[in-house]
Amino acid sequence: MASLITCPHCGVRPKEEFSIRGDAGPLRPQPEAKFAAWDAYVHLRGNVRGVMDEHWQHVGGCRRWLVVRRDTLSHDVHDVTDAAEFARAAKPLKRSKPASRAGKPAKGRAQS
Ligand SMILES: [Zn+2]
């Protein structure tokens, strides 16, 4: 059976109409935040086994960004919220922070 996502604007739609961007947990830092906060916001994303919030765009429908709370093991969808509404509520799922990449060389760069 096909996976279905309930878009808050369009109703129940097949998952093939959506594009996934990934972890919706990180919140945008204030403009005056330190470099480390911006680095973490731009580059560090969680990829948990279990329930997590993810950004999905309904590219085959209303084109709105959504936050889908989904179990990455069972693919069960627990909740779908418009991303703007999710950001206003600012209540991301509680979970551990992603591991720091400090000290590791960047992938894709030539080592000298
Ligand atoms: Zn939609």
Gap between the Cα atoms of 62 and 83, Å rounded: 13
Share of the chain above pLDDT 70, in %: 79
Residues 92-101 have pLDDT tens digits of 555 555 544 4
Q: How far is the CA of 80 from the centre of ligand 1 (A)?
A: 11
17 found inside a domain: yes
How many structural domains are present in the chain? Answer: 1
Spatial neighbors of 75 by CB under 8 A, at least 6 apart, are 3
94 found inside a domain: no
Domain span at residue 18 reads 4-89
83: CATH: 3.30.2270.10
Q: How far is the CA of 99 from the centre of ligand 1 (A)?
A: 33
pTM above 0.85, yes or no: no
Q: How far is the CA of 65 from the centre of ligand 1 (A)?
A: 9
107 found inside a domain: no
Q: How far is the CA of 2 from the centre of ligand 1 (A)?
A: 17
101 found inside a domain: no
Q: How far is the CA of 13 from the centre of ligand 1 (A)?
A: 8
98 found inside a domain: no
Torsion of CA 45, 19, 51, 70, to 10 degrees: 170
Q: pLDDT value at position 56?
A: 96
